[in-house]
């Protein structure tokens, strides 16, 4: 019996779309060309659910930009683990220890469904500063905005805690514009 063998249908092409760094940040204006050039300094890493990305006490030798999933920051005081924050797609993490070179106060783990990040090592950052100073400046703008978001979230949490504990709210005075 002679059977005609036909080749399997070709697999569809997989499109690898580069993430746009700082896409959720309106203040950092990154051209597609600068984005592509900047991404050359990053390494793409996928983490399994709940996998440790960075641990307590380590001095940050990398900073991370989340492109998929989320990361959870945990603190462990006196044996009790507590979630401190969640870092979502489009946000940076690890920038504090990376720049101040102080040991991490939290452990960073991938979320329930894992996380895909772009990692910038200290070595790559040093090369970036030398080879692409504009890219380094754009990255620093993103870091400043990321730290600002952390500060604002913390201020909101403190205001909520104050309201809960003392029945006093400072949010309206802390976050209102001068003269109002």
**Which tens digits make up the pLDDT trace of 77-120?**
777 888 888 888 888 888 888 989 999 888 999 999 999 999 99
Calpha distance 180→172 (Å, rounded)? 10
Q: What is the mean pLDDT of the chain?
A: 78
- DSSP readout, 46-110? EE-TT-EEE-TT-B-SEEEEEEEEEEEEEEEETTEEEEEEEE-TT-EESHHHHHH-PBPSSEEEE
pTM here is: 0.72
**Rounded to 5 degrees, what are φ and ψ at 84?**
-100, -40
Calpha distance 69→86 (Å, rounded)? 10
Q: Is the pLDDT of residue 129 over 70?
A: yes
> What is the mean predicted confidence (pLDDT) over 49-74?
93
- The domain over range 32-174 is classified in CATH as 2.60.120.10: yes
- Residue ranges covered by each domain of the chain: 32-174
Inter-CA distances, 90 with 112, 142, 171, Å? 17, 11, 27
Residue 21's pLDDT band, with cuts at 50, 70 and 90, is low
């Amino acid at each position: 019996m002679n059977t005609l063998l036909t080749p399997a249908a070709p697999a569809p092409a997989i499109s690898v779309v580069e993430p746009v760094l700082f896409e959720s940040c309106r203040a950092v204006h990154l051209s597609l060309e600068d984005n592509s050039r900047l991404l050359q300094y990053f390494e793409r890493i996928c983490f399994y659910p709940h996998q440790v990305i960075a641990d307590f006490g380590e001095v940050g030798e990398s900073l991370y930009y989340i492109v998929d999933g989320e990361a959870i920051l945990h603190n462990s005081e006196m044996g009790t683990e507590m979630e401190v924050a969640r870092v979502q797609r489009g946000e940076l993490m690890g920038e504090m220890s990376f720049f101040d070179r102080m040991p991490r106060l939290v452990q960073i783990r991938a979320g329930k469904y894992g996380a895909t990040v772009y990692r910038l090592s200290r070595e790559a950052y040093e090369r970036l500063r030398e080879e692409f100073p504009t890219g380094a400046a754009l990255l620093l703008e993103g870091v400043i905005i990321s730290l600002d978001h952390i500060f604002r979230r913390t201020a909101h949490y403190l205001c909520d805690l104050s309201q809960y504990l003392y029945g006093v709210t400072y949010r309206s005075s802390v976050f209102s514009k001068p003269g109002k």
